[in-house]
Chain A
Amino acid sequence: MIEFENVTKIYRMGQSKVIALDDINLKIEAGEMVAVMGPSGSGKSTLMAIIGCLDIPSKGVYRLEGQPVEKLSDNQLAQVRSRKVGFVFQQFNLLPRTDALENVMLPLLYDGVHGKLRTEKAKAALEVVGLADRMHHKPNQLSGGEQQRVAIARALVNEPTILLADEPTGNLDTKTGEDIIGLFQKLHEETGQTVVYVTHDAFIARHTQRIIRLVDGKIISDETVAHPLAAGTPRPEEALIGQSV
């Protein structure tokens, strides 16, 4: 499904070079739910950008569903982004002054889905994230959690095979963050979509099946979670407080 073979990504910042990914080898199978952890600057976002075809490797090969991505044209990459990948960002990235429904319809618009079908699909996606009653609200009329749900609806509206979430809960409080990871778990169980989820929060990461840790552009650990936490499990410190009372 997702296959990195000696992938290196170098950014130029003026005169200096920044090695964001350093000779990465990685395989994620279809239907896996993976968490990516690591300190800031460790290359998590670059990894996500390459998986999501927003960027291409400087060196090495990235295969998506067996196909090397660097051989695709600009337009083919755009098509991959619209059909195979759903991206959720830390900064929601909703179009301002545009209501939830139209934000969710955006990928369908660029994929050439027409009229009624487009509206129906977008409404269905908003229902999945529990925002059917807010579809005509504009981003500034929604809470942070709600905005991120709209962004998730936008990511899944085109039924992609991969859902990528780049610190989706980074701007949200822990309670809302837990709701969001619950939503991803539910989507993963119901649709069998591959989910890659970047987080700083070790507790959130334990809701997935596999945790990859990055430091300085290298994978330092890749562990399988034997018993992923179920949504709604109280945080350890909360559980302790509960016991002591």
Chain B
Amino acid sequence: MNLLENIRISFRALAANKLRSGLTMLGIIIGVAAVVALMSIGRGATRSVTSRVEGLGSNLISVTSARVVRQAGVAAQSTPLYYSDYQAIAQDVTDVNGISPTYQTGAQVAYGANQSQFTITGAEPAFATVQAYTVAQGRFITFADNSAESRVVVLGSQTATDLFSGLNPMGRDITINGINFTVVGVLASKGSTGFFSTDEVVIIPLETGYSRIFGGRALDNGKLTLSSISLSAANPNVVDTVISQVEYVLRREHRLTLNETLPFSVSSQSQALSTITSITGTLTAFLGAIAGISLFVGGIGIMNIMLVSVRERTREIGLRKAVGARRSVILMQFIVETITLSLVGGILGISLGAAIAGVVTLTGLITTYVSLDVILYSFFFAALVGLFFGIYPAYQAASLRPIEALRYE
């Protein structure tokens, strides 16, 4: 009596009860399909977010003001980032390809009757290179625009579509807080990062912004302030040294000792990326855990049906024993039956899960990613579930005494 014969016996028993076998498998099929589909959706989301964040600009470092608690019992305060900080960083920090100061504020933007609230970005020419934008039409903000405080504006692709609904925006006038600006350029689309859209921007010269749009809010004790400063490091290896140089310059400019908390956040894109990756990774694991519960429930379903099956086939087991089947052979038959059910269920579940992932991709909501490790993991987990939940019913069947089993009604 070898394993092959045993597998054959189990297959015959399963084939003899197709409906019951099918229903038993259903639990595993649904569980595995859920694991595969949800994990694929999670992985897909991670990949798309990661690739979009990477597309924001490589080696990007951003400086923003951060709220810190200076004294115990006093509410956290923020220290403004000054235009002079930008000038000091631009002068002293090395290994930088570009540096871009920006000031952002909300404003009413209108073209004719079409108006809505937008975030206005005051920027210098370096903005386009540092943030990795390319111009689709026209030109970007120039030094001349800044020094002349020209009323010109460059629109993101989404903004252009929203405001002009199909018209060519080039050379047309829009109003920002009631002041006329001429559209001189439209940016190429970069796609959404999932958190904020890089295509919904309205960019004006920084100097124009200070004099006409931002008003008193952009001043602190008579000094010009900034929302953020973006730097592009010369290469990935110098990102960390650039960050420490920037921090040094900021401490010097704001007269802070090394013991005091720096009231600014100086962070690189790779840090943001690792944060995002860990968040999406946690979400994926969470989805997987929920799906894992359904797989576990499927396993209990298998055990349930196998126990019923042992009951129902008590006479059959008695007969098999009466004609010479050993305990171990009966044990193996039932274990092989459950493992077969869970493995076949696992394979069908993987196919179903991959199909669901494919359908989700087709809907365009998210590009799912069915990875091999998820498939292997589900497959082995299904086998394990079969083994784990199959042992008890198999043991019950094997322990039946032949004479009692034969008398069972």
- Report A's interface with B, CB cutoff 8 A: 49, 52, 54-55, 74-75, 78-79, 81-83, 87, 89, 93, 95-98, 102, 106-107, 109-112, 154, 158
Contacts and interface: CB of A to CB of B under 8 A. Distances in A.
A70 to B, nearest CB: 14
A154 B327 contact: no
Contacts of A82: 323-325
A49 B403 contact: yes
Interface string B350-377: 0000000000000000000000000000
A100 to B, nearest CB: 14
Contacts of A81: 321-324, 402
Interface of B: 1, 5, 9, 12, 16-17, 315-316, 318-329, 401-403, 406
Nearest to B5: A109
B402 A54 contact: yes
A96 B324 contact: no
A74 B321 CA distance: 10
Contacts of B5: 109
Given A54-B402, A55-B403, A98-B12, A112 B1 contact: yes
A62 B320 CA distance: 23
Contacts of B315: 93
Given A78-B321, A95-B316, 16 more contacts: A52-B322, A55-B401, A74-B326, A75-B327, A75-B328, A78-B324, A78-B325, A81-B321, A82-B324, A96-B16, A107-B323, A110-B1, A110-B325, A112-B1, A154-B323, A158-B324
B322 A98 contact: no
Contacts of B406: 54, 89, 93
B395 to A, nearest CB: 14
A110 B322 CA distance: 11
Contacts of B316: 95
A49 B17 CA distance: 30
A80 to B, nearest CB: 8
B16 A98 contact: yes
Nearest to A155: B323
7 contacts: A55-B401, A74-B327, A75-B326, A93-B322, A95-B316, A97-B16, A112-B1
Nearest to B327: A74
A97 B322 CA distance: 19
A79 B319 contact: no
B402 to A, nearest CB: 5
Q: List the 6 closest pairs (A to B, CB-CB), nearest first.
A: A82-B324, A97-B16, A110-B324, A107-B323, A55-B403, A54-B403
A111 B326 contact: no
Contacts of A78: 321, 324-327
Contacts of B320: 106, 110
Contacts of B9: 109
A110 B323 CA distance: 8
A192 B263 CA distance: 105
B156 to A, nearest CB: 69
A99 B401 CA distance: 26
Contacts of B321: 54, 78, 81
